[in-house]
Structure 1
């Protein structure tokens, strides 16, 4: 259940930033930057905090190579689904949603990896702390 919540939070973060509907930060921000600049800036900074939390945790747990590997696995899974004609790339909106799911899986796995490693190995990851 923990992984699903972390993945869902990553998906919401990405979808709030951009999605193929009109209900996203990028579209709203472009339309309102001149009339509501402080609010656009505030919401952009809040989204940035979310990205920093997710990206920092993901880079610390699986690193850049791990992120690339997870993305390659998800991309290959999409390729297999395309090859078996389960998924098509004809609709741009579907392609964007697939990209959002793929990127959110990378962030969700990255945020959850320490928990998985602890359960598999019995060892907890610890940050370097000055005593």
Structure 2
């Protein structure tokens, strides 16, 4: 359940920022920049903070090499799905949704990796010093 929650949050963050519909921050900010500049700036800063939190957690969890490896696996999965004819890359709208799903999977794996690693290895990581 923890992975799905992280994936959902990552997907929502990415889709709120940009998606092929008219319901996204990027399109709204461009359209309403003149009339609602302070709100657009505030929204952009809130999204930036969310991205910094996500990216920090992801890079601490799996590192840059891990991001590239997970992205390679997700890309290969998309390739297999295209090769089997289950999805098509002819539609730019569907390509955007595929990219959002792929990036959100990378974010979710990065966020969940520490938990998964502790479960698989049985290791416990302690960052706080115990005062004695």
Off by >3 Å, runs of 4+ in structure 1: 125-129
Post-superposition CA distance 1:66-124 (Å, at most 9, x none):
00000000000000111111111111110000000000000000000000001011113
Aligned residues: 130
For 2:95, the equivalent position in structure 1 comes to 95
- Deviation, 1:5, is 0.2
Aligned counterparts, 1:1-131, within 5 A = 1-127=1-127
Query: Whole-Å Cα distance in 2 between the matches of residues 97 and 12 of structure 1?
Result: 12
- Deviation, 1:127, is 4.1
Q: Which runs of 5+ in 2 are unaligned?
A: none
Query: Whole-Å Cα distance in 2 between the matches of residues 113 and 7 of structure 1?
Result: 12
TM-score (norm 2): 0.94
TM-score (norm 1): 0.95
Q: Secondary structure at the match of 2:28?
A: helix
- Deviation, 1:126, is 3.9
